[in-house]
Amino acid sequence: MSYRTAGSLRSVTLDDVRGAQKMLSGVARTTAMESSRHLSELVGAPVHLKCENLQRTGSFKLRGAYVRIAGLLPEERAAGVVAASAGNHAQGVALASSLLGVHATVFMPQGAPLPKISATREYGAEVRLHGQVVDETLAAAQEYAATTGAVFIHPFDHPDVIAGQGTVGLEILEQCPEVRTIGIGIGGGGLAAGIAVAVKALRPEVRIVGVQAEGAAAYPPSLAAGRPVSVLNPTTMADGIKVGRPGPVPFEIVGDLVDEVRTVSEDQLSAALLLCLERAKLVVEPAGASPVAALLAEPGAFPGPVVAVLSGGNVDPVLLQRVLRHGMAAQGRYLAVRLRLTDRPGALATLLGVLSAADANVLDVSHVRTDPRLGLTEVEVELHLETKGPAHCVEVGQALRQAGYTVID
């Protein structure tokens, strides 16, 4: 494949995506399409989940990385490749390079999750930890490319990468030919651009909806300005779509072919991740759950049948624990309360009896006895409770107050 300039209206074509699909035969999996009864009832139309979280390396990134590296000239392959990533792209480049016999050096932030670092090494790449944020890591990788001659493999801003990601769109049309709306998480825009190229060429009436995290939403202001603009200090738990500036190549395609870009909150991302785990039995990272978050936020805005692309499942276990608690809290299923007791034997047991009668499950209890705000015989207790929803949270609070306890806000 040749690199076309970003100045052309369509830098990637359907033929490019079809060529990528042939190239990926036997390399990338045709991932499953799972129906969701819960989401279907919510939307009022069939909803299907495209499970790229079950792709090799745990995300769609293998597709674009393989197509890009496979398209290198022999002398470029001999020089090796280099990439910068906090996780998914790193693993995609590592496996693609290993399969093609190309040496890969991957720069990762020093704070990258250990499971992602280990997986990247196990896929065959040389990992170098540099910088605290991805921008610093990216600069180090580009400097390495300039000094060694290694080919820099961009995570989204290259037509070959976009063509590889577009193969997800071809699979969606094969697996759900009646689809009317496709929801896709957007970071730099490579996946959304690729899917849009494939789907709009074959089914122009299908609605393509991109989804960004509110704290890292560079596409809405960029589309309004007609050019890529930067979001300073993007912040979101969804590190897979935590990109501060769209790439010029995918930006042009997204602006031309994607019908709408929506944003979702951290609470909505948490709730979506929890839903995927509980209802669909699928481990999905926050970025991968973003289309589901959009469906939960406004189900009536998505004509069905709907396909939500679960773009990845590489979630750090520590983050997963935090996000699940956050998701439970957002759904009213996790309640933290503080109150004061008289510091005497049996006081805590009496309190726990009230909570048991209210059918609240106590997850954690902590005591504070030395705070200057407390009286001589007082103790402050903080409890973390598992509840059954917002209404049950209200019932628990009422039960505590009826028992004579003062809940501290």
CB 226 within 8 A of CB 272: no
DSSP string for residues in 34-69: EE-HHHHHHHTS-EEEEEGGGSGGGBTHHHHHHHHH
Output DSSP code: residue 312. B
CB 291 within 8 A of CB 185: yes
CB 370 within 8 A of CB 354: no
Instruction: Read off the tokens for 169.
Output: 């769109």
Helix axes 14-23, 61-70, angle to 10 degrees: 90
Specify the amino acid at residue 380. E
* Cα gap 279→151, rounded to integer Å: 42
Contacts of 272 (CB under 8 A, 6+ apart): 264, 284, 289, 290, 292, 293, 295, 296, 327
Catalytic residue among 11, 97, 290, 311: 311
Q: How far apart are the first and last CA of the chain?
A: 61
* Cα gap 283→212, rounded to integer Å: 20
Helix axes 61-70, 159-175, angle to 10 degrees: 130
* Cα gap 48→150, rounded to integer Å: 40
281 is catalytic: no
Specify the amino acid at residue 315. V
CB 89 within 8 A of CB 107: no
Output DSSP code: residue 108. E
Contacts of 22 (CB under 8 A, 6+ apart): none
Catalytic residue among 50, 59, 61, 290: 61
**Helix, strand and coil percent figures for the chain, each rounded to 5:** 45, 20, 35
Catalytic residues: 61, 311
